Amino acid sequence: MKNFLNYDISKLSYKNIKEEISCISIQENYKNKELIELIKVLLNDKRKNVSSLGNNIKKELDLYLNEIKRVRTMYNFDKSFGDYKIIAGVDEVGRGPLAGPIVACAVILDLDVLEENLILYLNDSKKLKPSKREELAEIIKEKALAYHIGISSNYEIDQKGIAFSNNKVFLDSCNSLEIKPDLVLSDGYLIKNVKIDNKSVIKGDTKSASIAAASILAKVYRDKLMSEYALKYPYYDFENNMGYGTQKHIDGLKKYGKCDIHRDSFLTKILSDNN
């Protein structure tokens, strides 16, 4: 980028300028003063297509800086509960589907990292595209201090109830962490019988970095599991509905009946309507 700024940009063609700046990474250069200088030079160019390149880079830079600020706020939120040193976030996915397990994940992040080591784009897993969730899941597993996934099968849900199973996967994931947390932040409500200090956070997967990370890992894990089940049980469109009661899923139930991963306790009305 420094060499590029040494050129008289006004004498370069739009094509050459575009090719040069296409190699510039905002993520690697967002703190670089030369990037700001480049934006100014491009914006001041009399050619509209060249100045638009500067405007595009500026927008991309602003978005990236705002994302750093947003995620830093999430990290700081987790640190705002007092003098706790090790904080875990826990969240679940799969409470409402007609089939498959309920899955929870607990995650411990390093909340004191520098900007360049923040896990950007953390959010409620449902707000992220599948490809972005999968990409983030790998980053979270790489950067997390510890994480653990807890599962309760459809059989256990039928035997013990969804509320019991929901609490069980929260407990399992928190208690099985390789590092014992001083505080657990749980999404939505408190965990029963947990032996660790616990605070509940309404809409925690949009406020807490740790809960958001847990939400993403749990979602990616369960979605992969349901996609594998779709190969074994092809009549219910599991690869698209992840076990939720979509029309294709209901149609499959009415035509072929239930399979081994269906929750009988969730199907009473649907199957009775079919008789």
Is residue 104 a contact partner of residue 184, using CB atoms and an 8 Å limit?
A: no
Residue 92 annotated as binding? Answer: yes
Instruction: Reply yes or no on whether the pLDDT at 50 is more than 60.
Output: yes
pLDDT value, residue 21 = 87
> In which residue are the tokens 């991963």 written?
261
Count other C-beta atoms under 10 Å from residue 149's C-beta.
Answer: 19
Distance (Å, whole) CA 1 – CA 119: 26
pLDDT at 105 over 80: yes
Does position 59 have pLDDT exceeding 80, yes or no? Answer: yes
Q: Report the percentage of the chain scoring pLDDT > 70.
A: 96
- pLDDT score, position 175: 97
Would you mind telling me the total number of residues written for the chain in this entry?
A: 275
The answer on pLDDT for 236 being more than 60 is yes
The predicted-structure confidence for 67-92, as pLDDT tens digits, reads as follows: 999 999 999 999 999 899 999 999 99
Mean pLDDT lowest for which of 189-198, 237-246, 261-270?
261-270
* Residue 4: predicted pLDDT: 65
Please give the Cα distance from 233 to 93 (Å, whole number): 21
How would you write 173-208 as a 3-class SS string? HHHCCCCCCCEEEEECCCCCCCCCEEEEECCHHHHC
Q: Are 244 and 94 in contact (CB under 8 A)?
A: no
Q: For residue 264, which of 150, 104, 103, 156 has the smallest C-alpha distance?
A: 156
Residue with tokens 């408190």: 190
Q: How far is it, in rounded angstroms, from Cα 160 to Cα 166? A: 10
Q: How far apart are CA 209 and CA 143, in angstroms?
A: 13
| pLDDT tens, position by position, 243-273 | 999 999 999 999 999 999 999 999 987 877 6
Which ranges of the chain does DSSP label H, i.e. alpha helix? 2-5, 14-21, 26-29, 33-43, 48-78, 130-143, 154-160, 162-175, 204-207, 209-232, 238-241, 247-256, 268-273
Residue 237: what pLDDT? 97
CATH 3.40.47.10 fits 82-221, yes or no: no
